[in-house]
Amino acid sequence: MTQTKERRRSSFGPLQLADYLGVPHWWWLGRARRLGLVDGPDREDGRWSADAAERIREGLEELRAKVGALPDMGAGRAVEVLGERLGIEVSGDAVRELVRTGQLPVVGAYKERPLYCGRALEALAGREDAAAVLAQAERDGRLMVADEAAAYLRIRRSDFGHLVRAGVVAPADWGNSRYYGQLVPLYRALDLDTVAEHAGVDLDAVRATPAGRRSPLATLPTANREA
């Protein structure tokens, strides 16, 4: 009965057309039209005629390949989808690193939280080297509080404080601390890996400094926070 009524329609609104095509509303409204993959309404009243709807349906398989099957989604769901498709454990750090490096574009927001491109996620999950890409993102994008960052560099916590003061390292993000009940800075592994490249930083000398002795990093100039 429903199909008979749809065939008799003389025109379609956007939701009606999505239902007629048998595709999710997000697929039609949020992706196909946003990407300009289909023509807009051909009637003056802003609706699609039955002929236009039929032309779209005839090219639906080609359109599906361009639009993709995954909707845009938040970070938590992106972690789940990649893990399910690849059969590996995926972390939020890896997803955030993909965003930082431009491999996972932000295409919108929902309740003030970013939505990541479903097409990019689908493409990544289909790559032969997807597991390696995510493993690298996991390593590079690991976020650490200051104590963990100091341990990662194998220096004292006070030494790390000098690196922060001098602007050699800066927070890549902020997170809630269950111990302090406030936001705390988080430092990215890849940024920490480049610390030794900065002028005036000799990590071997810092590591060799006995406890209780003044840090070689204490002579680093304080960064201009307003610059």
Q: Among residues of the chain, what percentage have pLDDT more than 70?
A: 93
Same domain (yes/no): 194, 155: yes
Q: Is residue 225 part of a domain?
A: no
Q: What is the pLDDT of residues 68-105, one digit of tens each?
A: 999 999 999 999 999 999 999 999 999 999 999 999 99
Same domain (yes/no): 26, 79: no
Given 18, 38, 67, the domain boundary residue is 67
The enclosing domain of 164 has a CATH number of 1.10.1660
Q: What's the number of domains the chain is made of?
A: 3
User: CA 109, CA 107: separation in Å to the nearest integer?
Assistant: 7
Q: Model pTM greater than 0.95?
A: no
Same domain (yes/no): 149, 128: no
Q: Is residue 208 part of a domain?
A: yes
Given 67, 85, 109, the domain boundary residue is 67
Does residue 22 or residue 182 have the better pLDDT? 22
Confidence at residue 8, expressed as pLDDT on a 0 to 100 scale:
65
- Nearest CA to 50 out of 12, 2, 1 is that of 12
Confidence at residue 6, expressed as pLDDT on a 0 to 100 scale:
46
Cα dihedral across residues 33, 36, 41, 44: positive or negative: positive
Same domain (yes/no): 90, 103: yes
Calculate the alpha carbon distances from 42 to 93, 109, 205 in Å.
Answer: 46, 30, 72
Given 67, 84, 100, the domain boundary residue is 67
Q: Is residue 224 part of a domain?
A: no
Q: What is the pLDDT of residues 9-50, one digit of tens each?
A: 889 999 999 999 999 999 887 788 888 898 899 999 999 999
Q: Which domain holds residue 162?
A: 143-219
3-class DSSP assignment, residue 44: coil
Confidence at residue 227, expressed as pLDDT on a 0 to 100 scale:
40
Q: Average of pLDDT values for 185-212?
A: 95
Confidence at residue 1, expressed as pLDDT on a 0 to 100 scale:
46
Same domain (yes/no): 151, 122: no
Tokens of 115: 């939505």
Q: For 85-177, where are the E strands, in sequence order? A: 106-110, 113-116, 143-144, 173-176
Same domain (yes/no): 59, 79: no
Q: How many CB atoms lie within 10 A of CB 37?
A: 14
Q: Is residue 57 part of a domain?
A: yes
User: CA 77, CA 61: separation in Å to the nearest integer?
Assistant: 26
